Amino acid sequence: MITASLVHAPSHADTGFWSTYVFSTDHKTIGKQYLGLGVLWTVVGGLLAGGMRWQLAWPDTALPVVGEIGPEVFNMMVTMHGTIMVFFVAMPILLGAFGNFLIPLMIGARDMIFPRLNMLSVWTFTVASVVMLSSFFVPGGAASAGWTGYPPLSARPEYTGVHWGLNLWILGLALEFASFLMGGVNYLTTAIALRAPGMTFFRMPLVVWQQLVASTLFLLSVGPLIAGAVMLLLDRTLGTAFYASDLGGDPLLWQHLFWFFGHPEVYVVLLPALGFVLEVLPVFSRKPIFGYRWIIWATLVAGALSFIVWAHHMFISGMDPRLAMPFSVTTILISVPFAYIVFAMIATLWRGSISFDVPMLWALGFLTMFIVGGLTGIFNGSAPADIYINNTYFVVAHFHYTLFSAVVFGGFAGLYFWFPKMFGRMLGRPLGHLHFWLTLVFFNVTFFPQHHLGLAGMVRRVANPLQYDALVPLQWLNVLSTWGAFGLLAAQAALVANVVWSVRAGARAPGNPWDANTLEWSAASPPPHLNWGPSAPMVYRGPYDYSVPGARADWHSQDAGPGRTSALGARS
């Protein structure tokens, strides 16, 4: 094993404003840059959702300030909301921000193994952001062919009226993929090569495992989609016919390439969030996670299965119907490893000593909402049920219960948990509680009725539900959902207030405010450049030694040596 302290000698410590805050190679700064960009995009994606919900509740009426939305703009909002939330919010925050910040700190490394590549990654993402943002301002507007970009709709400008907007959409996504490929290579290599002495693979915290599996899934799945995107761009710009049936192409080719990537991508987003929750649960129940190794194996099984389920997005696409049942079986089977992980989370609480601190609330919020999303996934995964449910709002409800719970509930579990480490200040508890409860309630007001709308036959991506006889009497559900969405957006003010208050007047965070075991808590809050002083940590134990019988304290830092077991243990 390479000794971390030799790889990055403290001699090249960055100096000056530009190299410290802008063109930094420090993994923590890069993580915060990803966080900042992700938060900016969250605002854009959230406002787009607000506009969509306005149109759905009160179709073709003027939205204050913006004006009337109409079907063209609505399609653009649907498309860009999905694209932004998956690729420019979930990935930069869950992987970019937390992956960069946590992986070196948690494995006892002083930085990523390729710090310059890491800087290139975040700057490539910045360019991707500029390209994607500029697509809103070109003539014809931004892409409006759905976040899945199905051709032929996406393959010829005349079908949508969007020309450069969609080209820039492809280009922006390609740059985003490049950025996360660089990040993923870095995460994997760092975790393989830079673990501190004693940090074996099976002593790594679960969130590191989840980040690594997520990065691996991304590396293995994105290639076919990049090939598909190049073909789409060629179809649009040079008149090739990869997806044009009248010239010998096939529109379904794109769907196979897209979903071969698309389903693993769901887990690229989900697994890091699952990792945050797996870290938070033991700390606030003062118990080891239930079945550490079993969870790792379950994650690997789920990751492997995610490569053979993609056609469940295509049951009624016109592919050979005999393929549906095999894909239905693999899809429903993927509930097995996730059922294991969810049960393990619940079992971790059993005979614990549970405190309801703010990170724990978000972790429990994730757990409950993810169970609902997991159960509704069984409906979608069943091919015969999917004949009816496919492309209805039931699907929209399902993936918000899974992905929103991952990105928002999981993400906030991580943010409230590691904020003290990242920024050196504690967040306020009452505002944190308020933020959680408002988000939980309004999330359910927004998305729970969408199950019913879907079951009643409301199809996705319609700009005006009142055009359908069956939906006119159910319009109150759309109005309810819209009020929920507005409440959900407004509730985030509690977070803004909390962060502003914390930065100005919050209590200074101690090194280890939660009495947690993993290595990042052995560094200062926030950790200095290169994370630890002259001596990097040595690792003596696994990450979840909580409440060991006979010990004086109920926690043991991973770097607490045999002789120092209780030295760090006095609980504050």
Partner 1 sequence: MLNWLRWLPENASTYGADVDGVIAIIWYTTLVWFFLTFGTLGAFLVLYRRRPGRAAAHVRGERLREAAWILVPVAVVLVLDLWLDFRGAPVWAKVKIERPPAELTVQVTGRQFNWEVVYPGADGRFGTADDKPFIDELHVPVNRPVRVVLKSRDVIHSFFLPNFRLKQDAVPGRDIEGWFQATKPGKYELPCAMLCGFGHSGMKAYLYVHPEAEYDAWAAEQRS
Distance CA 273, CA 385 (A): 29
Task: Please list every residue from 460 through 489 that binds partner 1, using CB under 8 A.
Answer: 460-464, 467-470
Smallest distance from partner 1 to CB 554, Å: 6
Stretch that binds partner 1, among 69-77, 300-308, 411-419, 436-444 (CB under 8 A): 69-77
Query: Alpha carbon of 136 to those of 72, 169, 546: distances in Å?
Result: 13, 10, 51
Give the contact letters, 136-175, x = binds to partner 1 (CB under 8 A), - = no.
Answer: --------xxx---x-xx-----xxx--------------
Residue 531 tokens read as 């994370």
DSSP 459: B
392, β-bridge pairs: 459
CB of 391 to partner 1, least distance (A): 4
Structure tokens at 57: 């509740």
Segment interacting with partner 1, rule: CB under 8 A, options 362-370, 403-411, 419-427, 506-514? 362-370
- Contact segment (CB under 8 A) with partner 1 among 34-42, 187-195, 286-294, 511-519 equals 286-294
In the complex with partner 1, the residue whose CB is nearer, 464 or 475, is 464
Determine the interface stretch with partner 1 among 6-14, 123-131, 350-358, 501-509 (rule: CB under 8 A): 350-358
484: tokens are: 């929920």
DSSP string, 11-40: GG---SHIIIIIS---HHHHHHHHHHHHHH
In angstroms, give the least distance from the CB of 119 to partner 1.
Answer: 38
Site for partner 1 in 370-389 (CB under 8 A): 371-372, 375-376, 378-379, 382-385, 387-389
Nearer to partner 1, 315 or 532 (CB): 315
Torsion sign (Cα): 207, 31, 176, 24: negative
The residues near 504 (Cβ < 8 Å, ≥ 6 apart) are: none
Residues numbered 77 to 96 that lie near partner 1 (CB under 8 A) are 78
Q: Are 187 and 181 in contact (CB under 8 A)?
A: no
Whole-number minimum distance, CB 444 to partner 1, in Å?
12
Of 1 and 325, CB closest to partner 1: 325
Closest CA to 83 of 180, 176, 153, 210: 176
Closest separation between CB of residue 297 and partner 1, Å? 11
Report the alpha-carbon distance of residue 422 to residue 32 in Å, rounded.
Answer: 8
User: Quick one: how far is CA 433 from the chain centroid?
Assistant: 22
Number of residues forming the site for partner 1 (CB under 8 A): 99
Q: Which stretch binds partner 1 (CB under 8 A): 21-29, 165-173, 212-220, 311-319?
A: 311-319
Site map (CB under 8 A) of partner 1, residues 419-458, x = contact:
--------------------------------xx--xxx-
Beta-ladder partners of 67 = 63
Sequence-distant (≥ 6) Cβ neighbours of residue 172 within 8 angstroms? 128, 129, 131, 132, 135
Token pair 């049936």 in the structure block, residue: 245
Task: Tell me if 400 contacts partner 1 by CB under 8 A.
Answer: no
Sites for partner 1 among residues 527-556 (CB under 8 A): 544, 546-549, 554
CB distance 107 to 194 below 8 Å: yes
Q: How far is CA 532 from CA 10, 109, 312, 373, in A?
A: 10, 9, 48, 41
| DSSP code per residue over 437-469 | HHHHHHHHHHHHHHHHHHHTTPBTT-S-GGGSG
Of residues 109 and 155, the one with the C-beta less far from partner 1: 155
- How far apart CA 187 and CA 118 sit, in angstroms, is 9
Task: Find the binder of partner 1 among 3, 237, 391, 566 (CB under 8 A).
Answer: 391
Contact between 321 and partner 1 per CB under 8 A: yes
Residues 278 and 207 sit within 8 Å (Cβ to Cβ): yes
401 binds partner 1 (CB under 8 A): no
Least distance in angstroms from the C-beta of 468 to partner 1? 6
**Interface with partner 1 by CB under 8 A: which range of 271-279, 347-355, 429-437, 564-572?**
347-355
Q: Which of 16, 67, 139, 318 binds partner 1 (CB under 8 A)?
A: 318
End-to-end CA distance of the chain: 36
Tokens 């937390």 -> residue:
98
Shortest Cβ 211–partner 1 spacing (Å): 22
Task: Based on the shown chain and the rule CB under 8 A, indicate whether residue 241 belongs to the binding site for partner 1.
Answer: no
Q: Which of 63, 138, 193, 316 binds partner 1 (CB under 8 A)?
A: 316
- Minimum Å gap between C-beta 393 and partner 1 is 11
Among 61, 355, 533, 561, binds partner 1 (CB under 8 A): 355
Among 119, 194, 364, 445, binds partner 1 (CB under 8 A): 364
The interface with partner 1 within residues 174-203 (CB under 8 A) comprises none
Closest to partner 1 by CB, 39 vs 354, is 354
**Dihedral over alpha carbons 157, 158, 160, 164 (to 10 degrees):** 30
Closest CB 70 distance from partner 1, rounded Å? 8
Helix H or strand E encompassing 122:
helix 115-134
Residue 144 gets the label, from left (phi > 0), alpha (psi -120 to 50) or beta, of alpha
CA neighbor of 414 nearest in space, from 214, 287, 271, 203 = 271
Cβ closer to partner 1: 74 or 443? 74
Beta bridge partners of 425: 508
Question: Min. distance of Cβ 347 from partner 1 in angstroms?
Answer: 6
Select from 480, 318, 332 the least CA-distant residue to 393.
480
Show contacts with partner 1 in window 200-219 (CB under 8 A): none
Among 61, 200, 237, 353, binds partner 1 (CB under 8 A): 353
| Min separation Cβ 94 and partner 1, Å | 24
For the bound state, the minimum distance from the C-beta of residue 515 to partner 1, rounded and expressed in Å, comes to 12
For residues 394 and 412, which CB has a smaller minimum distance to partner 1 in the complex?
A: 394
The yes or no reply on residue 75 touching partner 1 (CB under 8 A) is yes
DSSP sequence for 240-281: --SS-GGGT--HHHHHHHHHHHHHHHHHHHHHHHHHHHHHHH
